[in-house]
Structure 1
Amino acid sequence: MIHSNEAATPQAAENKQAVCTGSEILLKALASEGVEVIFGYPGGAILPTYDEIYKLGMNHILARHEQGAIHAAEGYARITQKPGVCIVTSGPGATNVVTGIADAMMDSLPMVVITGQVATKVIGTDAFQEADMLGITMPITKHNFQIRSIEELAQTVKEAFHIAVSGRPGPVLIDLPKDISEKLGIFDYEEPVHLPGYQPTVKPNKQQIRKLLDKFKEAKRPVLLVGAGVLHAQASEELTAFARKFQIPVAQTLLGLGAFPGEEELHLGMAGMHGTYAANMALHKSDFLINIGSRFDDRLTGALEHFAPEACIAHIDIDPAEIGKNVHVEIPVVGDAKEALAMLVKGSGAIDEHDEWRKQVSDWKRDYPLWFHRDGEVIKPQELIQKLYEHTKGEAIVTTDVGQHQMWTAQHFKFNKPNRWITSGGLGTMGFGFPAAIGAQIAEPELPVLAITGDAGFQMTLQEMSILQELDLPVKIVIVNNASLGMVRQWQQRFHGERYSHSLFPIQPNFAKLAEAYNIKAVKVDKLSMLDEAIAETLAHPGPVLLEVCVAKEENVYPMVCPGTGHHCMEGVEPS
């Protein structure tokens, strides 16, 4: 916000006396927000801002496609819990990040996306490289802004960051016309943010917490369902303390993995379409289901008429719009998961020990574990994931693309710590995994990062190998190569009479030579007896590596809750 009041401090006075271009105001605002890295791609309408990035020497990662830039920013945001910042130009540059914005919105990732725009005087005239980004992104952002005067620029940036991280996190877009970025104004970042119409409830109602605890005392078969909201609230310690104190079994959503230690006895694994038998049956047989930070997505619930039919349901969520949206809730608790769990941990009173229930859940885990059949020297993808876990001892950040390899990773890689798992959940975006790994590696340079991807999804954003080459980032790309769109093929097999319409790849690129073209080490393995050696060689290399693993082509993901059925109707459960 620009005004002429006297500054309260010498530094503020210096700032207010300095005449800046809009681009400089923008970048000073980003610096004031503690932004350490920007992901982006330049073009005509955003050139004044890129000129200022050059002058100020800001840390900028040049993607090779705007989709790569925004997915990398998503990976950075997922690991740091800070807003990922992406800057692109107008028109096609801006529309190329729409998928990433929608992805971040579905998965509640804090993002500030800055798009260049044509000059204000030609907005609405179909000018060269003009796109209506306010209209396009209105349904897929927490909020979007278009700057129409230099005076509003700094305060808009401040509000954008506040909105992105407060309440339920999400993406905020700032559309910056080129003439505004070139105009002169005075930088003032002292004005506090006050948005009367946006006041998220953080502190849960004590009475609702009491109702939840009272109901829990009556329950015989309680279960916790944990979603990404626990991770966004940085509440893993509180969740673990609550589950341990009251000995409650814990099922997790795809995006909630890592919120509760994967090797804990109370951990049931992932629930939902490809969840474990124990997790799904615990939900189905529960008499008291406590959902913390999950939005009851359809891939989790299956057919709603069969979902947790015997359970009283409590739902803790910072977004009141999610409570009761899909599933009827008896005990709603609006508030931050960390605050709610801290209050629950303090709860006391006579609690049923639930010994019989825990024994039942334990029996399900023992009798119906995840499984696969070995086949000589053929590499099964499930075993690949298990070996990656063993070789890294779980001390790695793992990203995936979307499809079968995503489900196998969620099933077989045990996430024992928060913020080690990055995947596209709600939108299911192919091409996400590899650039997200780049953002994660920049966020955590000391941790190994595995980009586990399919042969199809990798080809959508493989050009971002240029970033690995340029920065020598030690990301390990693991291509699970089954020469097909694996999940599409599985559904065609199960639901479309084995008519494999355009899901098989009779010809593939030589991935090793592609990697070598970017001066990246390549390793290829197609025999089980050589798999351990190939993984060890990959992980031991100090720089980036592409590991191509040729796996069984017709392997399917099981168990599976087919569309229209409930958790009690799982296919492919097998062991006993």
Structure 2
Amino acid sequence: MGTIRLTTAQALVKFLNNQYIRFDGKESRFVEGIFTIFGHGNVVGLGQALQQDPGELKVRQGKNEQGMAQAAVAFAKQNRRKKIYACTSSIGPGAANMVTAAGTATANNIPVLLLPGDTFATRQPDPVLQQVEHTNNASMTTNDAYKAVCKYWDRISRPEQLMNAMINAMRVLTSLDDTGAVCIALPQDVQGEAYDFPDYFFKKRVHVIPRRKATDEEIEDAVKLITSKKKPLLICGGGVKYSEAGEELKEFAKEFNIPIGETQAGKSSVESNFELNLGGVGVTGNLAANLIAESADLVIGVGTRFTDFTSGSKELFRNKDVDFVTVNASVFQAYKMDATKVVGDAKACLIQLKEALKKLKYKSSYKNEIIEAKNKWENEVKRLYSIEYPKTDFKPEIAGQNEDFLKEFYKLYGSALPQTTVVGEINKFVEKEFNGNYVVIGSAGSLPGDLQRLWRSSKKYSYHMEYGYSCMGYEISGSLGVKLAEPDKEVYAMVGDGSYLMLHSELITSIQERKKINVLLFDNCGFGCINNLQMSNGIESFGTEFRFRNEDQNRLNGEYVPIDFAKCAEGYGAKTYTVKTIDELKNALKDAKNQKVSTLIDIKVLPKTMTDGYDAWWHVGVAEVSNRKSIQDAYAERQKRLSSARKY
């Protein structure tokens, strides 16, 4: 056995350069590169190692630690978890900034490697700059905050610990069923310490991502249940995308005449125009999928976690005889909804189930219900895409609208653009111009609901939604990550003004890296989605709109605050546009397509013109005691819905 004398940081870089994965017989590098924001906790350690010899790692400079880590999450997600970026920060605030991104990764089961600097292992200079001291525990640092949001956590207090830690890190990062964020905290003194590492630590490692099959007993149990049911519904979750099982799901649906409802993570695993694809299901789902879900006597969840948005807070599936089958790589997820479990890779398990059901010549009992539900929704989409407001008559067209909001906004910006009409125009444009070879990205606010309901994806993997954590600020950072993953595709971030203000630092990184992204910013003067939530539960608008303070009332209920987002982004070097009409939108989209630099289209959309409802319920904590009748009514409705919701 030979040895190589390296610092801990140099050994880490060398190790990362030799990690590969094999999936369906194809081998590829696993770690694409590393995002960095250097500070005193990592610049002379890991920074020195990367400057001296990064190997094949691409080193990219972030602008905000959360932003660069969110870009890394999106990169891995768009690569269907087959490639990752690592991220390094200094200690203290830099490390704390990445905690949110770690939560995003773990909630969505996306691998990301986080390498925050840490305080001195020797503790001799303590307290160092940015160190948080704990009088009851000298070993605790900012990086302990990662423990709640990571799938694996370690701190390297001696160089030789790196070997065991990184093998475990790779175990989690390449896991089929238990992946997420990995934090390896690196004390700044240990980063520079040398050790004689055995050369076998740096050998090429190929981590095989298997297609695990379900057991015969699991298949038998699932088939027995399925064949006893007449009106099943398939739920296409993110596991279908990561397994690359879209074709198998389509074949399964077609063979047995079973309709498909999509989750946010699963959308675009199956093309929107597939005849049995009903579209989004649940709280942000559409009329077609939710109608079928209400009467289904069996729900087959494929690669889904059955979040509250997918299940309508467990109240959507209202057939008294409904049962559940789960197909999932994770035993933990497979136990959801007290289901009959099929544990394994989505593609492999669908093939097993299909073969067993074909032998029994199973068919669902649907007749015209699927096409009738789709036609109802198609008519509603046409209406939503074609709404126009005469500038003198703001009669509400969508549930939840308030005429006063619309008039006030028009007075401020001179725009009468409904959000649903804008979404429709953008969808038609990108499909026509790129024939499906684009990626649209979203995460938080009202846009995820509009996109899950209204967006049509003609090609696989063209829809990228982070909705496991619904992290505001993901959209623009995520667009950079997607562009790094798919450099030949046009990338569009769909972001609200509230989310844009949370985090847009990586727009500058996209310009610096010459990776063009397109930011479609929907400005409705506030946190419109949450404003809807409070008002629909009987509360008056409070603290959710961007308004000037009214000193007499000590409330933020003055006039709207006008913001020129285009001018802001122009200062960064982006090509920008301000849009107040459909013609201006069309012209901006056409011109932006021909730009070489990142673009931002500041779209002034009327508040309260997003989609809403479609017969799904979201369980939130409404006040049990209130002096407002509207809140009392909302609480009564909550109790009524709870009485019919499943309890597990």
How do 1:431-442 and structure 2 match up within 5 A? 431-442=473-484
- Cα offsets for 1:54-76 (capped at 9, x unmatched): 22254222111111111110111
Residue 410 of structure 2 corresponds to which residue in structure 1?
A: none
2:439 is the counterpart of 1:443: no
How do 1:348-497 and structure 2 match up within 5 A? 348-354=358-364, 357-369=366-378, 370-371=380-381, 372=384, 373-376=387-390, 378-393=416-431, 394-497=436-539
Task: State the secondary structure of the residue aligned to 2:351.
Answer: helix
Residue 562 of structure 1 corresponds to which residue in structure 2?
A: 617
Mean CA deviation greater in 444-453 or 540-549:
540-549
Separation in 1 of the partners of 2:587 and 2:544? 34
- Cα offsets for 1:395-437 (capped at 9, x unmatched): 2111113111222122222234443332321222111110010
Residue 316 of structure 1 corresponds to which residue in structure 2?
A: 327
2:494–2:519: 8 Å Cα contact kept in structure 1?
yes
Residue 28 of structure 1 corresponds to which residue in structure 2?
A: 14
How do 1:175-214 and structure 2 match up within 5 A? 175-188=185-198, 190=200, 202-214=212-224
Q: CA deviation at 1:113?
A: 0.9
Q: 1:243 to 1:130 in 2, by over 3 A?
A: farther
Mean CA deviation greater in 125-134 or 236-245:
125-134
2:23 is the counterpart of 1:37: no
- Cα offsets for 1:298-338 (capped at 9, x unmatched): 1222243563433221111222122334x221x11122222
Q: 1:299 to 1:306 in 2, by over 3 A?
A: closer
Task: State the secondary structure of the residue aligned to 1:344.
Answer: helix
- Cα offsets for 1:372-392 (capped at 9, x unmatched): 233247322222222222222
- Cα offsets for 1:240-272 (capped at 9, x unmatched): 222222221000111111122111110011111
Q: 1:186 to 1:231 in 2, by over 3 A?
A: farther
Q: 1:302 to 1:126 in 2, by over 3 A?
A: farther
- Cα offsets for 1:153-181 (capped at 9, x unmatched): 13422321221121322111111111221
2:219–2:342: 8 Å Cα contact kept in structure 1?
yes
Q: 1:218 to 1:508 in 2, by over 3 A?
A: same
Residue 157 of structure 1 corresponds to which residue in structure 2?
A: 166
Separation in 1 of the partners of 2:124 and 2:483? 39
- Cα offsets for 1:485-517 (capped at 9, x unmatched): 110121232123432334234224322221221
Separation in 2 of the partners of 1:20 and 1:215? 58
Residue 269 of structure 1 corresponds to which residue in structure 2?
A: 279
2:420–2:611: 8 Å Cα contact kept in structure 1?
no
Residue 97 of structure 1 corresponds to which residue in structure 2?
A: 98
Task: State the secondary structure of the residue aligned to 1:37.
Answer: strand
Q: 1:392 to 1:502 in 2, by over 3 A?
A: closer
- Cα offsets for 1:117-142 (capped at 9, x unmatched): 11212299654333635532222111
Please tell me the root mean square deviation across aligned C-alpha atoms, in Å: 2.5
Task: State the secondary structure of the residue aligned to 1:289.
Answer: strand
Q: 1:191 to 1:472 in 2, by over 3 A?
A: closer
The one-letter amino acid paired with 1:262 is S
1:29–1:158: 8 Å Cα contact kept in structure 2?
no
Separation in 2 of the partners of 1:124 and 1:245? 68
Task: State the secondary structure of the residue aligned to 1:46.
Answer: coil
Task: State the secondary structure of the residue aligned to 1:251.
Answer: strand
Q: CA deviation at 1:352?
A: 4.2
Task: State the secondary structure of the residue aligned to 1:121.
Answer: coil
Q: CA deviation at 1:481?
A: 1.3
1:166–1:200: 8 Å Cα contact kept in structure 2?
no
Separation in 2 of the partners of 1:339 and 1:288? 21
- Aligned identity (percent) is 22
Task: State the secondary structure of the residue aligned to 2:200.
Answer: coil
Q: CA deviation at 1:227?
A: 1.0
2:596 is the counterpart of 1:542: yes
Q: 1:470 to 1:31 in 2, by over 3 A?
A: same
1:490–1:556: 8 Å Cα contact kept in structure 2?
no
Q: 2:227 aligns with which of 217, 224, 227?
A: 217
Separation in 1 of the partners of 2:151 and 2:291? 35
Q: CA deviation at 1:190?
A: 3.3
Separation in 2 of the partners of 1:389 and 1:164? 34
- Cα offsets for 1:448-488 (capped at 9, x unmatched): 10011011111222232221221222101100111121101
Separation in 1 of the partners of 2:202 and 2:240? 28
1:489–1:504: 8 Å Cα contact kept in structure 2?
no
2:516–2:599: 8 Å Cα contact kept in structure 1?
yes
Q: CA deviation at 1:182?
A: 0.8
Residue 136 of structure 2 corresponds to which residue in structure 1?
A: none
Residue 541 of structure 2 corresponds to which residue in structure 1?
A: 499
Separation in 2 of the partners of 1:551 and 1:382? 9
Residue 573 of structure 1 corresponds to which residue in structure 2?
A: none
Q: Which runs of 4+ in 1 moved over 4 A?
A: 123-127
Separation in 1 of the partners of 2:103 and 2:166? 20
Separation in 1 of the partners of 2:562 and 2:266? 34
Residue 402 of structure 2 corresponds to which residue in structure 1?
A: none
1:238–1:345: 8 Å Cα contact kept in structure 2?
no
1:396–1:449: 8 Å Cα contact kept in structure 2?
yes
Residue 53 of structure 1 corresponds to which residue in structure 2?
A: 50
Q: CA deviation at 1:440?
A: 0.8
What number of residue pairs does the alignment pair up?
A: 546
Q: 2:264 aligns with which of 254, 257, 273?
A: 254
2:65–2:94: 8 Å Cα contact kept in structure 1?
yes
Q: 1:339 to 1:188 in 2, by over 3 A?
A: farther
2:286 is the counterpart of 1:287: no
Separation in 2 of the partners of 1:392 and 1:63? 29
2:293–2:316: 8 Å Cα contact kept in structure 1?
no
Separation in 2 of the partners of 1:144 and 1:418? 34
The one-letter amino acid paired with 2:601 is L
Q: 2:345 aligns with which of 332, 336, 343?
A: 336
Q: CA deviation at 1:189?
A: 6.4
Separation in 1 of the partners of 2:563 and 2:157? 47
Mean CA deviation greater in 251-260 or 533-542:
533-542
TM-score of the superposed pair, with normalisation by structure 2? 0.79
Q: CA deviation at 1:32?
A: 1.1
TM-score of the superposed pair, with normalisation by structure 1? 0.89
2:313–2:617: 8 Å Cα contact kept in structure 1?
no
Q: 1:456 to 1:129 in 2, by over 3 A?
A: same
Structure 1 residue runs without a partner (length 5+): 1-5, 7-15, 194-198, 570-576
Q: CA deviation at 1:27?
A: 0.6
